[in-house]
Chain A
Amino acid sequence: MTDAAASRNEALRLVATLTIAGLFSGISIVLAYRTTLPRIQANQRAALERAVFEVLPGTVRLERLAWDGAKLAAGEAGKGALQESIFAGYGADDALLGFAVPGAGAGFADTIKLIYGLDPSGERVLGMKVLESRETPGLGDKIYKDAKFVAEFRALVVDPVIELIKGHGERDNQVDAITGATISSRAVVKILNQTNTVWRPRIAALAAQPPEAGDASRPVPATSTILPPDVERGGPVPGGLTGDKP
């Protein structure tokens, strides 16, 4: 065997080793991924549902409402991006309790993802839960660990905007900032306000929709009325379906 042939064989051996290692690696990872995927998805769904139940106290049934660009319609759970759908929560007597709205925005460190409950009229926050954040442990993480701060988001008026106050806010639309975590507190309030500007018109438009339109796409006939009486009373809003493009 010549030198050239020997070195070529040697090179082939190196390539073959790495190829086999890569092949083994690929197969193992695919197997592990396929095995764990259902469990991981179930975990994520369960975590999301727990969060929704938490921000809409009393909820026994959820319905996912997806924004299709023009209106809100009952969407299939798990379809589409999370940020483009909200959840309608129904109580024991099938009355609409409110909507759980996911929101996200920049925090002090990395994106904060949260979900909050709006009452059916879209005018009051019922509860807020942080889903994902990398805020500083001991300081910024108080946005979900500090019970007092979390409690500020129960029965919080969103109109005209939610305000962050240092000290003690007197009015219903004010939230007390956490000492030492002003940026994180401000981020949460900002996410809520930004998400509200997107979703409140959409929710209002949903309220203005004739109930039949909602019925057609709804899988559960038992809950034929998606509209709470107090919103329905206002009647259809002219242009409500088209005048709310984000």
Chain B
Amino acid sequence: MSSASGRFLPEMAKGILRENPTFVQVLGMCPALAVTNSVLNGIVMGAATTFVLVMSSLMISALRKLIPSQVRISTYVVVIATFVTVADFTLQAMLPAAHHEMAAFISLIVVNCVILGRAEAFASRNPVLLSIADALGMGLGFSLAMVLIGGIREVLGSGSFFGIPVFGPGFEPWVVMVLPPGGFLVLGVLLLALAKFAELRSRAEEQRSRAAGEEPR
């Protein structure tokens, strides 16, 4: 147990940057493109997905020895769909305006492959605590990506951030940014920037190890 709790933070941290579900694993693209036209939508989508991720990882990890492998995927989907429905109702009751704006995409969390992916790749083989850490990290990483894309698109496409205007009244919103093509554009540019960043970093590391007289990695 002590080793498990020691691994809690690293397991969580990996999902946020190093294995970010959106930018590194490039999973769950449907919500990343469809609902990220404002910061608020990004936050709500991220929170709902994180909730479903954590709850289903907990459940699947706790029951991992009882679920026969032949029916594991269908069991996971039932569990995930249950929590998505619960999240859907809760959102409808608490934040009707946000729910109204992305109704169909909340239900579509069921088919977000980040969630099924974590259930299959992690929760079904790891103890409960670690699975929760993994789910939390992945959820936070996903939320981060949603808010980042949502922020850029809202600023450019609506001239506001979190509903607060950031430009003067003379600003003509770049409408395409809040439309689906804007999602593709922003995501593409972000992926490109991150790939360049990763390349620069690995090159710097290579040089450092060469300078230290070691074999280049």
**Which of A33, A47, A138, A139 interacts with B89 by CB under 8 Å?**
A33
B85 touches A29 (CB 8 A): yes
- Give the distance in Å from the alpha carbon of A182 to the alpha carbon of B175 in the complex: 17
User: Does B179 count as interface, using CB distance less than 8 angstroms?
Assistant: yes
User: Does B202 count as interface, using CB distance less than 8 angstroms?
Assistant: no
Main secondary structure of the interface of B (DSSP, over half): helix
A29 touches B86 (CB 8 A): yes
User: Does A148 count as interface, using CB distance less than 8 angstroms?
Assistant: no
Instruction: For residue A207, give the distance in angstroms from its CB to the closest CB of chain B.
Output: 36
User: Does A137 count as interface, using CB distance less than 8 angstroms?
Assistant: yes
Which one of B66-74, B137-145, B205-213 is at the interface?
B66-74
Across-interface contacts of B173 in A (CB, < 8 A): 138
By beta carbon, the residue of chain A nearest B59 is A24
By beta carbon, the residue of chain B nearest A11 is B70
- Give the distance in Å from the alpha carbon of A171 to the alpha carbon of B43 in the complex: 46
- Give the distance in Å from the alpha carbon of A25 to the alpha carbon of B178 in the complex: 36
Chain A interface size band reads: 20 to 34
Known: A28-B82, A29-B86, A139-B175. A14 touches B70 (CB 8 A): yes
B157 touches A21 (CB 8 A): no
Instruction: For residue B163, give the distance in angstroms from its CB to the closest CB of chain A.
Output: 13
Across chains A and B, the number of contacting residue pairs, with CB separation under 8 Å, is 67
A21 touches B78 (CB 8 A): yes
By beta carbon, the residue of chain A nearest B38 is A137
- Give the distance in Å from the alpha carbon of A139 to the alpha carbon of B86 in the complex: 34
A17 touches B71 (CB 8 A): yes
Across-interface contacts of B90 in A (CB, < 8 A): 32, 36
Chain B residues 142 to 175 lying within 8 A of chain A, measured CB to CB, are 157, 173, 175
A32 touches B85 (CB 8 A): yes
Chain B residues 12 to 53 lying within 8 A of chain A, measured CB to CB, are 37
Instruction: For residue A215, give the distance in angstroms from its CB to the closest CB of chain B.
Output: 37
User: Does B81 count as interface, using CB distance less than 8 angstroms?
Assistant: yes
B74 touches A18 (CB 8 A): yes
Closest 8 CB pairs of A and B: A138-B175, A39-B93, A36-B93, A25-B82, A36-B89, A32-B86, A43-B96, A21-B78
A28-B85, A39-B93, A44-B96 known; 5 new pairs, CB 8 Å cut-off, are: A14-B71, A17-B71, A25-B79, A36-B93, A40-B92
Binding site for B on A (CB under 8 A): 10, 13-14, 17-18, 21-22, 24-25, 28-29, 32-33, 35-36, 39-40, 43-44, 47, 132, 136-139
